[in-house]
Structure 1
Amino acid sequence: MALRRGPVAVVALLATLILAVFVVQAGGIAHFVGSEDRATVTITDGDEELAVVDSEVADGSRERYTGLSDHESLAEDEGMLFVFENEDERSFVMRDMAFPLDILFIDADGRITTIHEAPTEEGSDLTSYRGEAKWVLEVNYGYADERGIEEGDRVDIEYR
């Protein structure tokens, strides 16, 4: 016996296909399904809170590519949190940046693996800042040093 598909089933199938295409184009993360535009990132050394960063979230491929290059500056406790699906070796450059940054690489367990101080650069030979990470947090240049943030410190992320 053959199954008949009515107009509702056809519309549901088309909607599912369109959603799948959107998710792939958005870098594998659908922004309207549980993802948030901002996060509070709290950094501790195990005993003491070192910093709380109000962060924009970059969880799509376009957002991650642009990063903070469309910003003129950041407020003192602001940053951008780059979100990836899994932990891997990551590489960041200071493409078209108007101000220098600290780049903190965070593993899947919420530990800072690497911290880079990244000055602004011009030209085609950009420095590549690398680290093992599921998340990468960019904050103002010197922020980590001023707050006593070090590799191994713990990071807690609360999306909102």
Structure 2
Amino acid sequence: MRGMALMMALLFSGCLAALPDKGSLPVEQACLMAGERAVPITVEIARSSDERSRGLMERESLAADAGMLFVYGDQRRAHHGFWMYRTLIPLDIAYMDSNGVIGSIRQMEPCPADQGRDCPNYPAGVPFYLALEMNQGFFERRDIGVGDRLSLDASDCR
């Protein structure tokens, strides 16, 4: 009987391992175009409302050239913004139009509050369709600013 229980446990765990991870997002190679320069990055793509709401919450680190791209089906207004509830790492966020052109960049700090309503909001200041979160200081260190753009075409990253 003990052997049968062990076999069933192993079989069941194998089935669970075959299931896709519901927490994983699509990952794409992209680049930020700054004049003639292309800065390669890796982005997780958050398209659904649930994916965007979760964002980078509870992550303890983010690779140096990695980030999360938030994609909206319709334009967000300039007063719409992000907050850092349950986000542990300081981030920069670039708000972009439908062509990936950066309209504004904000620095965001982790919020230790117990409730989201107690966290500051970081409004875009411009209408946007896309928002890219990277480690704080990323855009400044790479000399990327307003008017530069994101390309999801990996061939642009030459």
Residues paired across the two proteins, number: 123
Counterpart check, 1:148 vs 2:148: no
The runs of at least 4 aligned residues of structure 1 exceeding 3 Å deviation read none
Q: Distance in 2 between the 1:137 and 1:41 partners?
A: 11
Counting only pairs closer than 5 Å after superposition, residues 32-51 of structure 1 correspond to structure 2 as: 37-49=26-38, 51=39
Contact 1:39 1:158 in 2 (8 A): no
- In the alignment, structure 1 segments of 5+ residues that lack a partner are 1-35
Pick from 130, 133, 153 the counterpart of residue 123 of structure 2.
130
Q: Deviations over 1:108-138 (max 9, x none)?
A: 1220011001111222421111222111110
Q: State the Cα distance separating 1:39 from its structure 2 match.
A: 2.1
- In the alignment, structure 2 segments of 5+ residues that lack a partner are 1-24
Q: Percent of counterpart pairs with the same letter?
A: 32
Secondary structure in structure 2 of the residue aligned to 1:69: coil
Q: State the Cα distance separating 1:53 from its structure 2 match.
A: 1.5
1:102 alignment partner in structure 2: 92
Q: Distance in 1 between the 2:71 and 2:147 partners?
A: 19
Counterpart check, 1:54 vs 2:42: yes
TM-score by length of 1: 0.71
Contact 1:101 1:119 in 2 (8 A): yes
Q: State the Cα distance separating 1:70 from its structure 2 match.
A: 3.3
Which residue identity lines up with residue 117 of structure 1 in the other structure? Q
Q: Distance in 1 between the 2:58 and 2:87 partners?
A: 8
Report the RMSD for the aligned CA atoms in angstroms. Answer: 1.6
